[in-house]
Structure 1
C-alpha cells in the first residue's frame, strides 16, 4: 500500500502508532486474501503473507478467531459506509442501484460467503448489525417510493443479491469484477420487473445459523 493510499486515521499519529496502524492494515489485507482462498488456513499463513513475524501477529490478535472476527467486523463497517455514501449522493431508485454497485465493488459479501461459521461473533457486532438493517430499510423505502421497485421485494432480499454476486470468483480479479457487475445488472432488472415473486423474503435470523461454528 502506498503512502497516498493510507487511511485518514493514520495521518497525524505519532510514529509508533502510525506504524502499528499500517502493520494492522497489512495484516488484515493479508488475512482477507488468505482466508477467502482457504478459510481453514492456519494463522501462520497470514503472518507469512503479511511479511510479519508470528509473534508480532499474536500480539495484535491472540488467536485465529480474533482475526476472523475483526476481518468480518471491518467488512460490516464497510457495508454500512457504502450504504451511507449511497444515501448521501442519490435518492429514490438510484440510491438502491448505487448502493448495490458500491457493495459489490467493495467485495464485502465474499466474507459472508466464505467465513460464516468459522468463528463465533460477539456482542461487538450488534450495533453495526442493527445499523446495517436500518440503512437497508431506508434504501428499500426510497426505491419503493420511486414506484420502480417490484412488489414484494424486502430489504432482506438485498443480502441474497449481494451474496449471489460474491459467489462469482475467477482467477482473474478484473474479470471477476466484470462478471459480478454483469450479474448485478441482470438482478437489478429483476428488482424492477412485474409479477409475483415465489415465496416470501428471508425472515429475520433465517440465515443466522450460518454464523455458528460447526460442531466438531
Structure 2
C-alpha cells in the first residue's frame, strides 16, 4: 500500500505543479508551441475528463461529490487488494488511476476558492464563461468550494485533414487529431486503466499465486 501511495503522491505533485504554473502564468486560451505536434494550451474544463461537460453549477457540484465518493471506493478496493498483491503490474496502474482521480478532484474542490479568476457559469447565456487576464492564487476565490474548474494544458494536434465530400455526415468537414486538451491527471488515469487491462492476467495474481476473481 505504501508503494501505491508513493506513486500517487508523486503524480499528484507533478500534476498540481503543472496546473498552478499554467494557471498563474498563462492567459485563458493562450498556447505555446513546444513542437509542431505538441502545444501547451491553457483551457479550463468545468466537467469531466478530456473537455466533456456535465450540466451547470448544480451538475458541477454533483459531479465533484460523485468524484469524492469514487475516490473513496478506489482507496477501499486498493487497500483490500494491496494486502494480497504486490506485483508492479497491479501497484503502478492503480497508483496512477488513484493519482489521476485525486488530481482532478483537487481542482474541483479547491481551485474556485484558491484563485481570484476562473471559468464560471453565466445564467444569462446558460453557459460557462471565461475571464480576462492572468489568475492569482490569493485565496479571494472566483466561485467557492466544490465549483472550481479543472486546468488542462496538454494538446497534441498530431495531424489534420479534410474529410472527402462523398463521406456521409462528416464529408467536407475539417478534422484534427487529437483535439481534446487534457492534463497529467487525465494521462495518469488513461495509462493506468490501459495498463491494468493489458496486463490483467498478471496484475490480479496474489503473492501466493492465486488469481483474483471478480
Under a length normalisation based on structure 2, what TM-score does the superposition of the two structures give?
Answer: 0.22
Would you tell me which structure has more helix in proportion to its own residues? 1
